Amino acid sequence: MIIKNGRIHDGKGKVFPADLRLNDGKIAEIAEHIDAPDEEVFDASGMEILPGFIQTLSFWGINGSSTEIRPSSNDNDELSDPITPQLDVKYAFNGRAATVQQLGAFGLTTVGVTPTDNNLFGGTMAVFEVDGVNPFAMCVKPCVGMKASVCKKLKDSYGKRNVAPQTKMWIFEQLSEQLRLASEYKIEKDKPRDMKLEAIKRVVDGELPLFVSTDTEQDALFVADIVKPYEKLRLVLCNGFGLTAESGWLVENGIPLVVRSSSMTMDDIAMALDLKGIAALADKGLEVALSGVDSSFQMREDVLWLGIAMMKIMKDESKVLPMMTSIPAKLLSVDDVTGSIEAGKRADLVLWSANPLETYEAEIVATYMGGRVIYRKGDELRCM
């Protein structure tokens, strides 16, 4: 089919009028004028066409299948052991639990799903579509990153039951030690295998990036220091709490950042999120992805609202929209398939009545996920 006369925001900073031809779930062609008399045409005159937003670190598919006011099934939260790198979040994802949220109605087409911040190594992350039933069919890419955390949440989860960690000393010592052991690990015949170290070894070898959640700038500095000896290891810092315009070391070391927020102002750690400082770092070249709340109380509006908050500071859509689309795709290693409007990419598109990074009057006219319409204006928003 052809989507004609829309204005394309490509997710990489460019805005231009163009027609799009979709074929087999992908964007087949982008051109000023496409005429194909035999194909279905959707007239998008006056509409702004954005890539689907991508939430980098989310709990979608894990939320929403439990009892009243317990929004989570907790299937990404294996609290039997603080070191569980051998686990895979793919097995926690419930397709219907994601679908029922109708994320397409909020501009999301793709989500990174992650283990919680409660374990030092939580397990591997995966990228999913937002609409479907079979979780494996919805999986755009498994094993896109190893989720780790040095947050206070570890102490809260274990220390209180008199199990390590009770302190940050243990957390950083073990982060360091597990990486060292993994780097020395070899599979040897007749020796029992260590599935944990095998999983971490993939990170040390640079097969997948290490996403580490931190509470403060000092946490982030310790993490960067500990991973430094491992040249192939690709670090992505998560949360951004406590980082400021003075945290130029992130830019110098080329370490990307996933920004999370807290819906709770009672949370002093999250209140230290300095979006102005992070915007200043982004201006100096820091790669920033805007994600959302770091708990199961995440909202469907998280990515858009963080984008709006960033627009208040940067006033420049060509810098902010990539933080919601192409940069998350890159950090999640799915930039070859989605995150921008380019020929060959998945047709993950949202047609807005106006630019949502400009006015609240912007409504979604239609959301395409892999070329399939998953939300159309007027569709009833479901209820649980």
The binding site for another protein (CB under 8 A) comprises 60, 63-71, 100-101, 263-268, 296-301, 305, 308-309, 311-312, 315, 356-363, 381-384
Please list, in sequence order, all residues whose beta carbon lies within 8 angstroms of the beta carbon of residue 63, skipping any fewer than 6 positions away.
71, 72, 73, 97, 101, 296, 298
What SS3 state is found at 130? Answer: coil
Q: How far is the CB of 265 from another protein (least distance, A)?
A: 4
Q: How far is the CB of 294 from another protein (least distance, A)?
A: 13
CA-CA distance, 41 to 134, in Å (whole number)? 30
Q: How far is the CB of 63 from another protein (least distance, A)?
A: 6
Q: Is the CB of 76 or the CB of 298 nearer to another protein?
A: 298
CA dihedral 325→330→334→336, nearest 10 degrees, is: 100
Q: How far is the CB of 72 from another protein (least distance, A)?
A: 8
How many degrees, rounded to 5, is the angle at CA 8 between CA 15 and CA 261?
Answer: 80
Q: Is the CB of 30 or the CB of 282 nearer to another protein?
A: 282
Q: How far is the CB of 177 from another protein (least distance, A)?
A: 32
Q: How far is the CB of 101 from another protein (least distance, A)?
A: 5
Q: Classify burial at 202, counting beta carbons within 10 Å of its beta carbon; exposed 0-12, middle 13-18, buried 19 or more.
A: middle
Q: Is the CB of 133 or the CB of 187 nearer to another protein?
A: 133
Q: Is the CB of 176 or the CB of 353 nearer to another protein?
A: 353
Q: Is the CB of 284 or the CB of 312 nearer to another protein?
A: 312
Hey, what are 319's tokens? 């810098």
CA-CA distance, 98 to 221, in Å (whole number)? 35
Q: Is the CB of 191 or the CB of 360 nearer to another protein?
A: 360
The Cβ of residue 41 has, within 10 Å, a number of other Cβ atoms equal to 15
